[in-house]
Amino acid sequence: MNALLNTYSRFPVEFVEGKGSKLFDKNGREYLDLLSGIAVTGFGHRHKEITKAAEEQINKLWHVSNLFESSPQQELAGKLVESSGLDSVFFCNSGTEANEAAIKFARKWGGNKKKIISTYGSFHGRTMGSLSATGKESLWKGFSPMLEEFSFAEYNNIESIKNIIDENTCAIMVEPVQGENGVIIPEEGYLVKLRQLCDENNLLLILDEVQTGIGRTGKIFAYQWENIKPDLVTLAKGIANGLPLGAVVCSKEISGIIEPGDHGSTFGGNPVSVAAANKVFDLLNAETLDDIIYKGNLIKTKLNEIESPLIISIRGKGLMIAIEFNKPVSKELIPRLLKQGVVVGGAGESIIRLYPSFLITEGEISNFIEIIKKVINEF
């Protein structure tokens, strides 16, 4: 009997152990993990320093209410503020919770202005507020009506956003790179133009960095590639390398209007997750970020050398990479790669996504290239 609710289409593999970029199933078989729990375990599985930090904390204190002071939270918030150039931090447990909080904060700041503009193809989460901001009608089926005062524009199209700004608009909410939509990278200058548009119209700029943040693109935050400063940044996934933690990093404008009781989270900023996250930030240095860029470029170069009429394009930023095919083959290729001992993700019917560990080796990259070349050619 399967007592789990049927919310996932699961592969018939059960992983019971991980080490670095490797996963091991219950039969002892080894797999190369190029999904990282969907951009979560950036520093791989069982990283010694992160594991030690979490173990030391779990042996002291698992949980305490946010009604009391927390030095580890203050330490992590300080690192987020310093690296982002923003002002304050709210901790929660996940990306969808971070986006829910950002939506609430933006609407409080907006006063009578409540509309938030998002983009088609976006993914901001599955709770009602974040789902209402998600530009994929297929995910709304069965859960409508969505919350009011959300509008959608074309991604990477400033004019499309300009056309729907009105006197009721308080914020624009976008991903610096659309992850769930297939690693869609906007043209250079897109975020700069969004920042200018928000400044001209007195709007907040909310950047959903749940997938792109914490080094995934080769910067701590993906918006740093364009040297701008948003008003709200949402984070989760890689921030604690697999332990549940989310965050909203806020500008002074937001910090000035949020009061006790406006929002909260029982488990947000859990001591064990925060201990892991503090170590993640210690490891996320300039050398690591340079290495992410180098390895991402190496993977893209090697993928581009594969001669196959099936492949349309290879795209990515840092270790956030997509392979797009000219046919709906991803649902067949992904299980074939799994059978060959490689774990990857999909995005729609014709895209494979790669989110490797930051610590993946050149040897592991070469092994992957040989395997995917073989699988594509056989297909």
Distance (Å, whole) CA 115 – CA 171: 7
Which amino acid would we find at residue 129? Answer: G
> Which stretches of 85-151 are DSSP H helices?
95-110, 128-132
One of 22, 219, 237, 279 is an active-site residue; which one? 237
- Residue 183: C-alpha distances to residues 156, 261, 314, 317, 353 (Å): 13, 37, 10, 8, 8
Residue 69: φ, ψ to 5° = -65, 155
DSSP-derived pairing of the beta strands 232-235 and 204-208: parallel
Distance (Å, whole) CA 40 – CA 179: 13
Please say if 302 is a catalytic residue.
no
Which amino acid would we find at residue 77? Answer: A
One of 208, 231, 281, 358 is an active-site residue; which one? 208
Distance (Å, whole) CA 37 – CA 15: 12
Nearest CA-CA partner of 146 in 174, 178, 166, 118: 118
Please say if 358 is a catalytic residue.
no
Burial grade of 305 (CB within 10 A; 0-12, 13-18, 19 or more): exposed
One of 43, 90, 123, 221 is an active-site residue; which one? 123
Please say if 281 is a catalytic residue.
no
| Residues labelled catalytic | 123, 208, 237
